[in-house]
Amino acid sequence: MESHKKKKYMSAAYRSSFAKLLLNIYLYCEEIQEGYEPSPWEREAAAEFGRLFELFIGGREDITGELDSLRDGIIGRVEVMTAFTDCFQIYEYVLNRVERRFVTAAPSKYTPSLMAERLVDYIAGLEYGAEQNEALRQIVAQLPVRLTRQKFYSIVLDRLSVFAGAEQAQIEDFLYMLGTAAAVRLPEHMEEEKELYEILSEFRRTDYRKLDGVKFGMCSGTLARGIRILTDRTDRYVLLVQLVNDLYVLCLTGKEALIDASEQQAFLTGAKKIMEAFRGQRQDLLEELRQVEGVQESASQWLSAGVKSEGDPVLEKLEKLLSGSSFMSLEEKKVSHETADQALIEERGKAFCEDLDRLFADMQKPVVRAVMAKVLSGLPMVFQDSQEIREYIQMSLEGCSDYAEREACMELLEQELMVDAVV
């Protein structure tokens, strides 16, 4: 019985992934034909995918090793895109806080005290604890920062102490993610994304203490252009990894899948014509896509039912590829379950603070404050009650002597958290 379920599951996976693959290749080609210009790296990755797909169409299914390599490369490139996103967010924070020096805007109707009260009411009005925690993170991320480095490091170490008793792997993963978000650890090959890297280099060279209106406008335009490029590239790389995942599924299930001969022929015919478009030979592909309409829907019942995968490496990989998490590792990671005591957490926390200190050494004060805000919003939220939250918000706003920055922060809090909804 279980063997029958496995056959049905693998057949459904094959049919669904083939149909999805054809649709996504069509979408990919359509963007190219509409004028999208891939980066040099993307051209190479897309060409490699095309080569592997043609091998599969020709009867080769032993290409999973090459798919692993291509998939790892795309995932690495998406990590580069994430690093650019984190870096751009830091400079966006800086620009947002100097904007009111050059752009006339009505003063906020809130005082720091009233803003703190409204934000606490906003948090209290959220239904779930996870929503409240996320709203609190957004608030902390927007508040002005006026901390000495030593006070900031003290807060970091104190917040990390909540991990005492947790698994060591958890604290290591957390510090890694916090470090990447704060641009402490940047991946290799960022310079290969030349347009984005030049934009980042320009932000690094800019003296934010000497900005005038003209330079501010140029920086804002550069940031907007960078975000557009980043969004386009990220979307394309995500689509590429989805293509690879679906081809991987086909390789894992091809020998086991039970497919109607006419449907298989429709798949292969459509694949060959779509690959011609993939190589740049423009043609109408809608008829090929009509041949696979409804396939994903008809396969969904068996896929949603699942199948027992314990001990079956193929089924375990299939579950990951079909999970909807495009970048999930296909290999089992050996994780240490040793717990972290306070001494270990302090050691790791001090090392993280030393990394931050080296980063800050070459940064201007406005950028340092932006990184501090990013770190503070990423740390565990350890406020005891609403009164403590209210005091933290009010003190952060009142401690900012730069009126333009304080007004900008309150405006951002109004916009992002819609505090007027609770007035």
Structure tokens at 22: 């054809």
pLDDT of res. 346: 93
- Which pLDDT value is given to residue 1? 40
Answer whether residue 423 shows pLDDT above 50: no
Contacts made by residues 203-207, CB under 8 angstroms, sequence distance 24+: 203/87, 203/88, 203/91, 207/364
**Cβ-based neighbour number of residue 263 at 10 Å:** 15
The yes-or-no verdict on residue 280 having pLDDT over 70 is no
pLDDT of residue 96: 93
Q: Which amino acid is at 169?
A: A
Predicted confidence (pLDDT) at residue 7 exceeds the cutoff of 90: no
Per-residue pLDDT of 361-391, as tens digits, reads 989 999 999 999 999 999 999 888 899 999 9
Give the pLDDT confidence of 203-255 residue by residue, as tens digits.
999 999 889 999 999 999 999 999 999 999 999 999 999 999 999 999 998 88
The mean predicted confidence, pLDDT, of the chain is 86
Euclidean distance between CA atoms 252 and 14, whole angstroms = 9
In the predicted structure, residue 333 carries a pLDDT above the cut 70: no
Measure the CA–CA gap between 252 and 249, rounded to whole angstroms: 5
Give the number of C-alpha atoms closer than 13 A to the C-alpha of residue 67, restricted to the C-beta side.
27
**What pLDDT digit, counting tens, does each position of 397-412 carry?**
999 999 889 999 999 9
Concatenated DSSP letters of 282-300:
----HHHHHTTTTHHHHHH
Question: Residue 259: pLDDT above 70?
Answer: yes
Kindly report, residue by residue over 99-151, the tens digit of the pLDDT: 988 888 888 888 999 999 999 999 998 888 889 999 999 999 999 999 999 99
In angstroms, the CA 358 to CA 356 distance is 5
Query: pLDDT category, 421, cuts 50, 70, 90?
Result: very low
302 within 8 A of 9, measured Cβ to Cβ: yes
- Whole-Å CA distances, 111 to 118, 394, 398, 406: 10, 9, 9, 10
Residue 419 has pLDDT above 80, yes or no: no
DSSP conformation letters of 213-226: HHHHHHHHHHHHHH
Of 93 and 28, the structure prediction assigns the larger pLDDT to 93
Does residue 422 carry a pLDDT above 50?
A: no
